[in-house]
Structure 1
Amino acid sequence: MFVMFRRMRKCQRVQLMTTCLVLSVVMVCWEQESAIVNHVKSYSYRYLDSGFLAINKSLTVTREQARAFSNFRYLLNNPDKCRDRDVLLLLFVKTSPENFERRRAIRATWGNETYIHSSLGATVKVLFALGAIRTKANEPSWTKRNAAVFQKQLVEENDLHGDLIQQDFLDSFHNLTLKLILQFHWMHRRCAHARFFMTADDDIFVHMPNLVRYLGAASSGDVADFWIGKVHRGAPPIRHKHSKYYVPLEMYQWPIYPDYTAGAAYVVSGEVAHRVYHATLTLNASIYIDDVFMGICGNAIGVSPQDHVYFAGEGKTPYHPCIYSQMMTSHGHVEDIYELWQAATQARETGSGLVGRLYCTAMKWSLLCKPWYQETYSCRAAFV
C-alpha cells in the first residue's frame, strides 16, 4: 500500500489526504455533536422548519392534567422565609434528603445569608428543595423504620435552620422536573417580589461576591427576558437505552431540544420566573431532565437563554486565582468548598494593570483552551 502511495502523483496524494482529513472532521463532528453542528441543526429547526412551535403544541395539556405534576403535599415548608420586601435573589438548591453535610457546608459558605447581607449589602434567601423518602409496601420493616428516622432528622434540621422545602414525591433523578416545578410554584406564591431566581445543584460552588455584584448591576437595566447560564443549543435527545439521560420517542419525539441552560446553576429574573410558573400550568412535565424542561418552558414563553462564560456546566473548573476572580459558578465541589469560599472572600487583586491582565489571559488560555471538549468554561472566558 505504501508503494502504491509513492507511485501516485503529487496532486493525487494531496487529494487523497485532503479527502481523508475532511472525512475525519465529519466523523468527529457527527460522533461528538460539536457546537457548530448543533448550531446549524438548531438554526434550521428553529427558523426553517418552525419545529419549536410544534414542540409547544405537542406538549400543551389541560390545567387539570398539568396539576398532576405540582399537586403534592408539603412535608416541610417555610412560608415566611421571604418576608423581607427587598430580596435581590431567591436561590433554591436542589438536594437529596441524605446530603446533610452538603447543606451544612453551603450554609457555612456561599449560602450564608448573614454574611451576604452584612458584607455584600444584599438580601439573598437560600432554600433547599427536596422530595420524600418513600418505601414500598413489600419492603422489610427495618427499611421503613430507617426512612422514618431519616425524615425525623430532616424535621430537626428544618427546625434549626428553617430552610427546607419538601414535597411528598419520591426524591429521585427521574423526579427532578417535579423538584424544579416545586421551586417556581413556591416562588410564585411566597417570594414573587424577589428580583431574581436561581436554581443550583448541591455540589455547586457559587462565588457569591461576584454574583451579587453582577445581579445588582443587572437589576438597574431591562431584565424582562433575563436568563443566564451555560447554554446548550441544538442538543439532541439521547436515544441509547442504557444512558442516564435516555428519552424515548413517546416521551419526546423531536430531533433536538429547545435551547436550555445546564441544570447545575442558572439565573432568571423574577419576571421570567413568573412567566415560567404560568407555563408549567399547561405543559406536560413528564420529561424528567429538568434543565431540558426549563428550555421547553422558555420556548413556550418566548425567552431564550444567554450564555455567560463564567457559569460552569458539568465539569469542575481548574483552580487558579485568575479564573476564580471572575467565576460565577463551578461544578463538582464538595470537599474543597471551604477552601474556595475562603479564597473568594479574601480581598486580593488579580490581573490588575496591563502586565497582570496579560498574565491572567495567558494563564486562562492555557487552562481553558484545551483541544478536547470539557464541560466547564469555554475558551472565550480566557479573553473576557
Structure 2
Amino acid sequence: MSRRWCRKLEVAILSFAGFTGLLFLLQNEKSRHDLKEAIEISSPIRPIVTEHPKPIAECRENVSVANLSGFAELPDHIKNFLRYKHCKEFPLLLDVPEKCGGPDKSYDVFLLLAIKSSPGNYERREIIRKTWGQERMYAGVHIRRLFLSGQVANAREARKINQLLKAETEENGDILQWDFHDSFFNLTLKQVLFHSWMEARCPGVRFVFNGDDDVFANTDNIIHYLLDIPGAGDEHLFVGQLISNVGPIREKWSKYYVPEQVTASNSYPPYCGGGGVLMSGYTSRTIYKESQGIELFPIDDVYLGMCLQKAGLAPASHSGIRTVGVRVPSSKLESFDPCYYKELLLVHRFVPYEMLVMWRAINQPNLICGKRLEVYQRL
C-alpha cells in the first residue's frame, strides 16, 4: 500500500509541475503576442505641449475711471474695458512652443495661419483643419496653423470647454489659449498677445494670415500671391479690405459703439477689416513693437491701423479679400457658385458646412468657369 500511495503521489506532483509549466509558457507567449500587437497598432500621438508659464502679476482694476464724466451710464462691457485696458499680460494656458520649429528654424515657415476662435467654436475649428487650414507643404513652402483663444466667462462652462481645448491640443497641437475672458472687446488683447507670442516663438515666419474662424480662405491662391511678393516677408505688407475715412460709432445699440470716454477723436486711421488680413513677418514684428506704446482700443482692426500709422506704414486693399461677402451681378444668379470663389483669397463669412462644400467644389479638377479672374495677383 505504501508503494502504491507513493507512486500516486509522485504522478500527482509531476502532473502539477507539468501543468504549471504549461500555464507559464502560454502566459509568456500571450504577453509577447500582446506586446507585439501593441507595437504594431500603436501610432505616434502628438503630446499636449505645456509649459509652466512665467509668473505674471495680477492686473488690478483701475478704479479711477469711475470718475470719468458719464461713466455710470455706460454699458457694462465698456465699463469693464475702461477698468482693465491697461492689462496686456496674461498667462498662457495652452502653448505650442515648437509650432515653427523653434525661433531659429521659424524662417522655414512661409505662411502661418493665425485664426481667432472663441473657445466653444469646435465645429468651425475642425472644419478649418480639414479644409483651407490644413498644415501642409504647397508649392514648395510650409503652411502652419494656430487658433487663438481665451477663456469662457462662466466658470462652470469654462471647466468643460477647457477640457475640450486641451483634447484638441493633444490631438492637433494648434491652440494658443490665454487666461482672459474671450469677448468681442477683448479681440484686441488677443491680437496683442499673439504678436508677443510670435516675437518669442516664431520671429522668422515669412507671412501671416490673421482672420476669424468664420471666413473661407483659398490658401492655394494666397500662397501664389505671396510667392510673387518681393522680399520674402522682409518688407512691409498689410493687405485686406481697406476701410478709410470713418470714425467711432456713437450709437449705444451698435456692437461697435465706442463712446467719447474711450476716445474723443472722431476719426480712425485707415485700416483693413478684421475678418481677414495678410501681413509680412516684417509688419507683424513692427506691430508688436508699436503695440508696446499704444493703449488697447476695443476694435481690434482699428487698433492694427493705429499701430501701422504710428510706424509710418499704410494698409492696402486687395480685391481678392472680401470681408463683406461676394456680390453677384444679378439676383437671378447663384451666389454660392464656386466660380465666384475659385480665384478669390478670402470671403467673410461662412458657416462650417459651407466651408467644406466650397472647399471641395473649388478643388474639383473638372471645374470649368466662363472667365478666369486673376484677382490673386498683386494689385
TM-score, with normalisation over the residues of structure 1? 0.69
Instruction: Classify the secondary structure of the residue corresponding to 2:90.
Output: coil
Query: Are the aligned partners of 2:239 and 2:317 in contact in 1 as well (CA < 8 Å)?
Result: yes
**Which deviations, in whole Å up to 9, do the C-alpha atoms of 1:61-111 show, x marking residues without a partner?**
xxxx99944210001111110105411111110001110010000000001
**How many pairs align?**
283
Take 2:280 and 2:259, find their aligned partners in 1: how far apart are those partners?
Answer: 32
Match of 1:237 among 202, 224, 248: 248
Q: In the alignment, is the contact (CA less than 8 A) between 1:66 and 1:280 conserved in 2?
A: no
Structure 2: runs of 5+ lacking an equivalent: 1-82, 328-334
In structure 1, C-alpha distance between the alignment counterparts of 2:161 and 2:232, rounded to whole Å: 45
Amino acid at match of 1:343: A
How has the CA–CA distance of structure 1 residues 224 and 269 changed in structure 2, closer, same or farther, with 3 Å as cutoff? same
- CA shift for structure 1 position 121: 2.7
Alpha-carbon RMSD across the aligned residues, in angstroms, is 2.5
Offset from partner CA, 1:97-133 (integer Å, 9 cap, x none):
110010000000001113xx1x543211110001112
Q: Which amino acid aligns with 1:128?
A: F
Q: Residue 350 of structure 1: CA displacement?
A: 4.9
Residue 108 of structure 1 is matched in structure 2 by: 130
Given that 2:206 and 2:232 are in contact with CA atoms closer than 8 Å, whether structure 1 keeps it comes out as no
2:175 to 152, 164, 184: 164
Partner of residue 37, structure 2: none
2:94 to 73, 76, 83: 76
Asked if 1:126 is matched to 2:145, the reply is yes
Letter in 1 for 2:121: N
Q: Give the structure 2 partner of residue 325 of structure 1.
A: 342
* C-alpha displacement of 1:217: 1.5
Aligned partner of 1:92 in structure 2 is 114
Q: Distance in 1 between matches of 2:143 and 2:344?
A: 18
Contact in 1 for aligned 2:233/2:281 (Cα 8 Å) = no
| Superposition deviation, residue 313 in structure 1 | 1.6
Structure 2 counterparts to residues 182-201 of structure 1, below 5 A: 182-201=193-212
**Structure 1 residues 156 and 340: CA distance shift in structure 2, 3 A:** same
Q: Deviations over 1:157-211 (max 9, x none)?
A: 1111111001111001111101111221111111111111121100001001101
| Structure 1 residue 346: Cα displacement | 2.6
Give 2:318's aligned residue: 308
Classify the secondary structure of the residue corresponding to 1:254. coil
Query: What secondary structure does 2:241 align onto?
Result: strand
Residue 268 of structure 1 aligns to a residue whose secondary structure is: strand
After superposition, the Cα gap between the structure-2 partners of 1:145 and 1:67, relative to the gap in structure 1 and judged at 3 Å, is closer
User: Residue 109 of structure 2 contacts residue 142 of structure 2 at CA under 8 Å; is this kept in 1?
Assistant: yes
- Structure showing greater radius of gyration is 2
Pick the aligned partner of 2:258 from 235, 247, 269.
Answer: 247
Residue number in structure 2 paired with 1:209: 220
Q: Who is 2:164 aligned against?
A: 153
Trace 1:1-384 onto structure 2 (pairs within 5 A). Answer: 68-83=86-101, 84-85=105-106, 86-114=108-136, 117=137, 119-135=138-154, 144-220=155-231, 224-285=235-296, 287-316=297-326, 318-334=335-351, 335-348=353-366, 350=368, 356-357=370-371
* Structure with a larger share of its residues in helix: 1
Q: Distance in 2 between matches of 1:66 and 1:259?
A: 26
With over 3 angstroms needed to count, the CA separation of the structure-2 counterparts of 1:297 and 1:343, relative to structure 1, is: same
Assess, with a 3 A threshold, how the Cα gap between structure 1 residues 321 and 338 changes in structure 2: closer, same or farther.
closer
* Aligned 8 A contact 1:90 1:197 in 2: yes
Shift of 1:314: 2.9
In structure 2, give the amino acid aligned to 1:293: Y
Paired letter, 1:165: L
Distance across 2 between alignment mates of 1:301 and 1:178: 19
Distance in 2 between residues matched to 1:316 and 1:349, nearest whole Å: 19
**In the alignment, residue 133 of structure 1 is paired with which amino acid?**
V
Q: What residue identity is the alignment partner of 2:141?
A: A
Provide the rounded CA distance (Å) in 2 between the counterparts of 1:145 and 1:322. 45
Matched position secondary structure for 1:72: coil
Q: SS of 2:289's equivalent? A: helix
C-alpha spacing 1:221/1:129, structure 2 compared with 1 (3 Å)? closer
Report if aligned partners of 1:195, 1:219 keep a CA contact under 8 Å in 2: no
Contact 1:312–1:330 under 8 Å retained in 2: yes
The TM-score with structure 2 as length reference comes to: 0.70
- 2:320 is paired with a residue whose SS is coil
